[in-house]
Amino acid sequence: MEKRPFRTTCSTDICFAIFISSAIVWIFLCFDYSTFHPSNNGVRGISSSLNPNKLLLKPSPLSARTLDPCSGRYLFIQNIPSRFNSDLITNCQSLTRGTDKSDMCPYFVNSGLGPEIEDSRGVFLNNSWFKTNQFLLEVIFHNKMKQYECLTNDSAMASAVYVPFYAGLDISHYLWNPSITIRDSSARDFLSSISEKPEWKRMFGRDHFFVAGRISWDFRRQTDEVSDWGSKLRFLSESHNMTMLSVEASSWKNDFAIPYPTYFHPSKLSEIVEWQSLMRARQRQHLFTFTGAPRPDLTDSIRGMVIEQCRGSSLCKFIDCSSDGVNCDDPTTTMEAFQSSIFCLQPPGDSYTRRSIFDSILAGCIPVFFHPGTAYSQYLWHFPKNQTAYSVFIPVRNVKKWDESIEGILSGISKDRESSMREEVIRVIPSIVYGDPRSKIGNLEDAFDLAVKGILERVENVRKNIREGRDPSEGFDGPDHFKYTFSNND
Ligand SMILES: *[C@@H]1O[C@H](CO)[C@@H](O)[C@H](O)[C@H]1NC(C)=O
Ligand SMILES: *[C@@H]1O[C@H](CO)[C@@H](O)[C@H](O)[C@H]1NC(C)=O
Ligand SMILES: *[C@@H]1O[C@H](CO)[C@@H](O)[C@H](O)[C@H]1NC(C)=O
Ligand SMILES: *[C@@H]1O[C@H](CO)[C@@H](O)[C@H](O)[C@H]1NC(C)=O
């Protein structure tokens, strides 16, 4: 998994450089961070209509809200040309995994979950484990949306509009294209098609959202230099008004992070419970583990230093994804390592986040983070608010001056503290898995449900702003200079 098939937008250093230069500008702007967080005030149930005044001014009566369990939760799936979604599946042989030219088609089976895992080593449960590719999140999310219990065909009733644009699969055709015009052409076509729909007009797209299985930076090219990475999708004007959910958010307020898909897609509550108790009971022979490939070009990076410390410690298990005979694309390799470790190191790599954050949590391994952008400022709807309850933070403000001993810090953590953190990690498992889209798991909020809940609250906040006469763009888009910084009390 760490042999990340795609070259991502920026090396950590470049990300920092972007951040620092932007921060200088942002620091002068006073953003109210609180407006950015979805509030929990539960103001919902506003019936909408194509008439903006009616939509904005008239909350539905209380009685209607209590009678209809879907009130305030209706979603409308926008109909968009098939070139932006199903054609990408039909023509899957034209998709590549970037530098790795292997075929993506096998991953599309089972509603996008991928082929079922054949497990001869007893690492998984017998059912509901799949060789899931992270880029298929767009397809999985769409398939789950088709089963969402509060869909409506009447867009006037909908609280938010889901746009089934497979943004990441689409851009994967063009990311390496030297022509800026070609790289952006699909984004432009998509935006003009979506903004012509009647549903756009009622809130100028501010109730629209779509999902990407790639990091946000892939859609945030800041200049028109050919060497600059990505498309401009998120900087085009219509796009400002929409929310994008992706595996890694940028520092713009209209980008939200949702979990990378793991290999586990339970179809029954009992499977999750069984898995949680297996992970609780596991004997973990390694204090900590790191799974990934060294990057010769990133020798000054925290990742290089983490690998060096892991190699030098008898308590650390290093799975070197670059070595012969180690296949980190095989879920058994990585999941087995996470299951036999107490702590899992998650330094930033090509980008801030990594899929293995979620695979390791699924294995009941306590995450160790080195940068707030790896998790704390990302998965706001899915991770516990209390960071210290489920993870260890070893901040690296300056790689060159960093001289912490990971082994020293981790071996100093008491057994009691360790078990309470692991219990919290195991408690988080249901929130970070995407249940099998082909079945509905009764009383459980999975990663999809939490994402939908987050979106509904966000759109409701926009409505509230409009009702109260404020600018709907307030707190909606624009950069958020707190997002990737270390807070003063770390
Ligand atoms: C999986 O199935 C095999 C063969 O049917 C059985 O022996 C094994 O106990 C099962 N494993 C789990 C975890 O249920
Ligand atoms: C929406 O319309 C389609 C096609 O007429 C129908 O199959 C589907 O069940 C409808 N969905 C809802 C939620 O009413
Ligand atoms: C974005 O929303 C604002 C209202 O907040 C609206 O004035 C603007 O026209 C919208 N942009 C597009 C492209 O629809
Ligand atoms: C967060 O978790 C830690 C460790 O479990 C605990 O000591 C602390 O009181 C918690 N903080 C809050 C604000 O709940």
Domains of the chain and CATH, by start: 76-261+440-467 (no CATH), 273-432 (3.40.50.2000)
Is residue 366 predicted with pLDDT exceeding 60? yes
How far does residue 241's CA lie from ligand 3's centre (Å)?
Answer: 7
Contacts of 328 (CB under 8 A, 6+ apart): 1, 2, 3, 291, 292, 293, 319, 321, 334
Ligand 2 pocket list (CB less than 6 A): 151-153
pLDDT in tens, 80-112: 999 999 999 999 988 876 656 678 999 999 999
How far does residue 209's CA lie from ligand 3's centre (Å)?
Answer: 15
Provide the pLDDT for residue 298: 66
Please report, in angstroms and rounded to a whole number, the separation of the first and last CA atoms in the chain.
30
Which ligand gives the minimal distance to the CA of 154?
2
Strand pairing partners for 346? 369
Q: What is the C-alpha separation between 33 and 15, in angstroms, rounded? A: 21
Question: 100 to each of 1, 4, 27, 68, 262, how far by Cα in Å?
Answer: 12, 9, 40, 49, 21
* Atom 12 in ligand 3: residue holding the nearest Cα: 238
Residue 146 one-letter amino acid: K
How far does residue 377's CA lie from ligand 4's centre (Å)?
Answer: 18
- Substitution site in 119, 126, 129, 275 for ligand 1 pocket (most atoms within 8 Å of beta carbon): 126
Residues in the chain: 490
DSSP alpha helix (H) spans, 221-301? 237-240, 269-281
Least confident of 10-14, 249-253, 315-319, 438-442: 10-14
CB 149, CB 223: distance < 8 Å: no
* Atom 4 in ligand 4: residue holding the nearest Cα: 389
Provide the pLDDT for residue 148: 96
Place of tokens 């007893």: 122
Q: What is the C-alpha separation between 42 and 71, in angstroms, rounded? A: 12
Is residue 268 predicted with pLDDT exceeding 50? yes
pLDDT in tens, 232-264: 999 999 999 999 999 999 999 999 999 999 999
Which atom of ligand 3 is least distant from the CA of 204? 14
Contacts of 288 (CB under 8 A, 6+ apart): 310, 313, 315, 316, 317, 341, 342, 343, 344, 345, 368, 406, 407, 410
